[in-house]
Amino acid sequence: MTGLAFIFPGQGSQEIGMGKALTDAFPAARAVFDEVDAALDQNLSKLMWEGDLAELTMTANTQPALMAHSVAAMRALEAAFGVSASDALFVAGHSLGEYSALASAGAISLADTARLLRIRGNAMQGAVAAGEGAMAALLGADLAQAEAACEAGRATGGVCEIANDNAPGQLVLSGSKAAIDAACEHARANGVKKAMALNVSAPFHCSLMQPAADAMAAALADVTIHAPVVPVVANISATPTSDPGTIRQNLVDQVTGRVRWTESVQFMVARGVTATAEAGAGKVLTVMQRRIEKSLNGFTLGTPEDLEAFAAFIKGEAHV
């Protein structure tokens, strides 16, 4: 079988109707949504399939919703086609997707994962007063240009940090609004192709999120974490771990830390990964990885048709 990694999307991939086709086709997927609804004491699945996009996009709803779709895809893949996380070399997720990866690899129970993401969403939303924080994307910038922009931003006295290293030429800054504005101005004046503010509700993955990190440390202290069936490549380190204590600390640190996605993908490729399967909503990570490593074969696992095509690929590889 090919060198496989399952990857899991983060915030921004949500849409009304997400996961409904999986539920209609696979009882195992339906069971995931039922369990998440019960854990949250909320009809989250109804919101996902019939609700208002603005309500779904509220961070406290988006995070468990995306995780539910991802895990539903993985459970359906295993129940219907006999393919699971244990068939991969690694799992990895972007930001909240790291929780989806851990749930799919058996490290955290589905109910606990849903409750943790509800806490995480509320804590991240409440960490900074509305209007005080901002995020911006730098397109066409390298890390040195992004660091220089951050330095210019910090000269205002505010916080300005690299929040996401998503792919070559796609970096995201996070921090105080005035500092982010100054960083964008500096970037534009110094050859960066595009510096644009992002429509986000809070400045994620920067030191302003420390109150949310503290909340997650308290929440995670009460949760049982098992060793995952395969190593999880962590956002904060871009290296794999199966140690429950390290996983717990990584989940705290990633709230304020940089999502090192470029390095995570590069690490997995260097360790033999030749194909990825993005479980859940959309194909953001699959598109981004083309900028990181063109040789990677990328699949998405969001619909029944996706699962069938991927299973056919895996079974074909197994008989080569």
Q: Quick check: is 95 catalytic?
A: yes
Question: Cβ of 297: how many Cβ atoms within 10 Å?
Answer: 16
Where residue 79 falls (left for φ over 0; alpha for ψ -120 to 50; beta otherwise) is: alpha
Q: Which helix (H) or strand (E) holds 30?
A: helix 27-40
Q: At what angle do helices 110-126 and 244-256 cross, to 10 degrees?
A: 30
| Choice among 70, 174, 205, 264 that is catalytic | 205
| Distant-in-sequence, close-in-space partners of 35: CB < 8 Å, separation ≥ 6 | 110, 111, 114
Give 77: exposed, middle or buried? Use CB within 10 Å, 0-12, 13-18, 19+: buried
Q: Quick one: which of 83, 239, 67 has its CA closest to 247?
A: 239
| Choice among 95, 100, 174, 176 that is catalytic | 95
Active site residues: 95, 205
